[in-house]
Amino acid sequence: MDSPLNNREIASRKRREQVLDAAAACFVERGFHQTGMREIAKRASVSLGNLYNHFPSKHDMLIGLAELELSSVDPFVEMLMRNVRPSVCLREFTRAYFQHCSDHDAAILYLDIAAEAMREPDIAERFLQARSTLAEALTSLLFKGVESKDFGPSIVDTSTADLILDLIEGAAARGSIDASKPDMLMASIEAMVFAALRH
C-alpha cells in the first residue's frame, strides 16, 4: 500500500494538474506546435522555472495528457463490464462514448495527441494502452452478446471492437466540426453497429 502524501507532495501534484489543464487549454486554442512554454506557464499562473520543474518540455506535457487519457476510459470500461443484457449495455455505451468523443475541446486535444503519437513512440504507447483497455472490455461484451444470442457470431472477433470504436470516434470528431445534427449521426452509428452485429 502506498504511503499517504505529505503537504508538499499534495501541492506538487495539484500544481502538476494545474499545468496540464493549462497546457490542454492552450493546445485546444492554438495547437500543440503553436503553443510556447511561456504561454502555458502564464495560463497556469506559475513561473517558467516552476513549469520546467514539472515538465521539461511540451513533449512531457503531452505524455502527461496521454496518461490522463488512460484514466478517462475507466468509466467506459466499468460501463461495459456491468451485469446487464449485452445489447442494452452496448447501446448505452455507444451513446455515452459518442457524447464523450463529441466534446469539441476533447476532440481537438485527442487529435493533437493522436498526431504526435504517430511521430513519438512513447506517446503512442500510452495512447494505445488506453485504447487497448477499452477495446478489450468491448470485445468481452461482444462475446457475451454472442453467448446470449443478442449478437450473431459472424463478425464478432477481437478486431470488431476496434472497428466499432473507430466508427464512434471518427463520426464524433466529424460531428464536433458540424454540430448541427448530432442526434441523427448517433442514430446512424447505432443502427449500423447493431445491423452488423445481428447478422
Question: Cell 495512447, residue?
Answer: 127
- Mean pLDDT, residues 20-26: 94
Q: Which of the four pLDDT bands, split at 50, 70 and 90, describes residue 154?
A: confident
Q: Give the chain's length.
A: 199
Average pLDDT, the chain: 88
* pLDDT above 90: percentage of residues in the chain: 51
Q: Which of the four pLDDT bands, split at 50, 70 and 90, describes residue 155?
A: confident
**Each residue's pLDDT tens digit, 62-78:** 888 888 877 889 999 99
**Each residue's pLDDT tens digit, 163-172:** 999 999 988 8
pLDDT of residue 88: 96
pTM for this model (two decimals): 0.82
**Each residue's pLDDT tens digit, 87-103:** 999 999 999 999 998 88
Question: Cell 464512434, residue?
Answer: 168
- CA 96 to CA 10: how far, in whole Å? 32
Rg of the chain over Cα atoms, rounded to whole angstroms, equals: 19
Report the range of poorest mean pLDDT among 52-56, 62-66, 81-85, 145-149. 62-66
pLDDT of residue 148: 92
Angle at 159 between CA 98 and CA 108, to 5 degrees: 35
* pLDDT above 70: percentage of residues in the chain: 96
Domains assigned to the chain: 7-56 (1.10.10.60), 65-197 (1.10.357)
Q: Which of the four pLDDT bands, split at 50, 70 and 90, describes residue 86?
A: very high
